[in-house]
């Protein structure tokens, strides 16, 4: 007994402790990222990498040089004349390209005359290819215009002595300096030397280097194609901006999906609210709520559902004329008020008359077989796309009523005759009727109870957009 009392006491204490614990609410605070949109969309000023330049394009930084000066031949054996006694004129032509501010190459031709060891005058030609290295090239990374260029060079070529016919290989080297006069022209001064074998002038040992030709020339260099160098842009700020823009785009997409869902929900709510106002006869009073001409700029005709959801209002003597905006039926009036004929058609089964009046989706009786006013489905120009997807709610309701009361359905497609040819409008009206027919079949109406009609292009209604429609009418089967 004591143990039982202790157990019950402990259980009560546990329950009391749990009851005293405050419930923990879920955190409803949602973290929102704030983007500086104006800053994200501002153009960025490029930031250049320090000391980095881009290589020249294929058409950029070509040059042609023309120069003239003097050449001194120093051979082995030297002969008896001094240095100034061996001076002879010479000239040179060169074509080249600078690949970077530091590295360039050229093909050079030079020649004319020289004095050999016996002080005899001989003619020569020299063609060589040189590699140039600009010692001041790094300045381009810090400033736009660089006036001076100091470029040592070295190359190989072929010498030709026209007097004795020798054609030895030669090594050329030297230094060149340039001063830029304008964007396209530079002044040039070059000191160079050519080393070849001793027997070039006909004296000395073959296959032994020993003959030299020292030249000093001056002239002009003409720059061709695109001149100058582009500094390399630092891509890191652009990559960071792109990442921010991608994040902002994803944020906008998520917000857009959220607003689209809310908008679709609001549209369905408004459609249902409008139906309720129509049933209660209050649509005219509150029609301004649904007026969105200022937003859309172009308004399509809209059903007022006088066929569907109307019998209840009639039975309550609400004096609703039951006409559709597209219905051309002329109603008679009596004492200034609409006069209605509530007599059911002879073809309406009596067993259905009471149930029709009790149904939440109410139908009006019309003279003959048709039940209520037709329902119109409007389409965009030259398409089978509904102008408003909320119109599918009408399809759901039509299918429900047609199945409940075993009604037949007539679907009539039409097109706007003011646009398109007759053949196009005929095909378009058939397609629109087929679209609504397929939607009704998907909602459970047998194909044998659907009559499909095509009217082609019509001009029955104003505005012309109203002619781009498919009309749906409900019928009781004919009495046998």
Which superfamily does CATH assign the domain made up of 375-475 to?
Answer: OmpA-like domain (3.30.1330.60)
Q: What pTM was computed for the model?
A: 0.44
pLDDT of residue 97: 93
d(CA 13, CA 417): 85
d(CA 298, CA 311): 32
3-class DSSP assignment, residue 63: strand
Q: Which overall architecture, per CATH, does domain 52-231 show?
A: Beta Barrel (2.40)
Cα 381-386-388 angle, rounded to 5 deg: 115
pLDDT of residue 338: 39
Omega into 463 within 30° of 0, i.e. cis? yes
d(CA 143, CA 228): 11
Q: What are 363-404's pLDDT values in tens digits?
A: 433 334 566 668 889 999 989 999 888 788 888 888 888 888
pLDDT of residue 292: 56
Q: What are 101-129's pLDDT values in tens digits?
A: 889 999 999 998 888 878 888 899 999 99
pLDDT of residue 427: 93
Going by C-alpha positions, the residue among 337, 327, 316 that lies closest to residue 372 is 327
Q: Are 431 and 456 in contact (CB under 8 A)?
A: no
d(CA 356, CA 478): 18
Q: Are 322 and 339 in contact (CB under 8 A)?
A: no
Q: How do the domains of the chain map onto residue ranges? A: 52-231, 375-475
What does each of the 480 residues of the chain score in pLDDT, given as a tens digit?
554 555 454 555 554 555 454 444 544 445 556 667 777 777 888 877 776 777 767 788 899 999 999 999 888 887 777 777 788 999 999 999 998 888 999 999 999 888 887 888 889 999 999 999 999 887 877 776 788 999 999 999 999 998 888 899 999 999 999 999 998 999 999 999 999 998 888 888 888 888 899 999 999 999 998 887 777 788 888 888 888 888 888 888 988 998 998 888 888 888 788 778 777 777 777 776 766 544 444 444 555 454 444 444 444 444 444 444 444 333 333 344 433 333 333 344 444 444 444 443 334 333 345 666 688 899 999 899 998 887 888 888 888 888 888 889 999 999 999 888 999 999 999 999 999 999 999 999 999 999 999 999 998 887 888 889 999 988 877 654
Q: Torsions phi, psi of 93, nearest 5?
A: -130, 140
Q: Where are the extended beta strands (E) located within 116-165?
A: 121-133, 148-161
Count of C-beta atoms within a 10 Å radius of residue 28: 5
């Amino acid at each position: 007994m004591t143990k039982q009392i202790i157990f019950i006491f402990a259980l009560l204490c546990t329950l009391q402790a749990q009851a005293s614990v405050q419930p923990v609410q879920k955190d409803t605070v949602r973290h929102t990222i704030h983007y500086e949109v104006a800053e994200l969309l501002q153009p960025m000023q490029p930031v250049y990498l320090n000391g980095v330049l881009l290589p020249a394009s294929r058409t950029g930084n070509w040059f042609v040089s023309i120069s003239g000066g003097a050449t001194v031949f120093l051979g082995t054996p030297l002969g008896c004349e001094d240095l100034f006694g061996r001076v002879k004129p010479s000239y040179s032509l060169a074509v080249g390209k600078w690949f970077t501010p530091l590295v360039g190459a050229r093909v050079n031709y030079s020649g004319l005359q020289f004095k050999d060891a016996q002080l005899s005058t001989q003619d020569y030609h020299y063609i060589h290819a040189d590699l140039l290295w600009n010692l001041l090239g790094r300045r381009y990374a810090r400033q736009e215009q660089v006036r001076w260029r100091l470029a040592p060079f070295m190359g190989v070529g072929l010498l030709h002595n026209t007097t004795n016919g020798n054609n030895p290989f030669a090594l050329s080297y030297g230094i060149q300096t340039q001063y830029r006069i304008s964007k396209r022209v530079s002044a040039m001064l070059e000191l160079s030397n050519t080393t070849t074998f001793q027997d070039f002038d006909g004296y000395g040992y073959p296959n032994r280097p020993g003959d030299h030709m020292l030249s000093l020339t001056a002239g002009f260099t003409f720059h061709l194609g695109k001149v100058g160098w582009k500094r390399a842009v630092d891509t890191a700020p652009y990559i960071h901006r792109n990442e921010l823009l991608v994040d902002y785009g994803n944020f906008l997409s998520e917000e857009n999906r959220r607003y689209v869902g809310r908008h679709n929900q609001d549209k369905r709510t408004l459609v249902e609210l409008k139906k309720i106002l129509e049933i209660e006869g209050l649509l005219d009073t509150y029609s301004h709520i649904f007026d969105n001409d200022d937003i859309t700029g172009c308004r399509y005709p809209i059903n007022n559902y006088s066929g569907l959801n109307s019998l209840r209002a009639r039975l309550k003597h609400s004096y609703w004329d039951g006409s559709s905006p597209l219905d051309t039926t002329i109603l008679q009036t009596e004492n200034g008020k609409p006069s209605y004929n509530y007599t059911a058609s002879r073809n309406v089964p009596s067993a259905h008359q009471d149930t029709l009046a009790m149904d939440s989706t109410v139908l009006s009786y019309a003279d003959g077989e048709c039940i209520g006013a037709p329902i119109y489905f409007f389409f965009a120009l030259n398409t089978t796309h509904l102008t408003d997807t909320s119109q599918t709610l009408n399809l759901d309701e039509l299918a429900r009523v047609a199945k409940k009361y075993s009604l037949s359905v007539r679907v009539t497609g039409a097109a706007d005759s003011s646009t398109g040819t007759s053949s196009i409008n005929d095909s378009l009206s058939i397609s629109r009727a087929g679209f609504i027919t397929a939607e009704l079949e998907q909602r459970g109406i047998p194909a044998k109870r659907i009559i499909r009609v095509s009217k082609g292009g019509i001009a029955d209604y104003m505005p012309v957009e109203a002619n781009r429609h498919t009309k749906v009418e409900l019928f009781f089967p004919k009495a046998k």
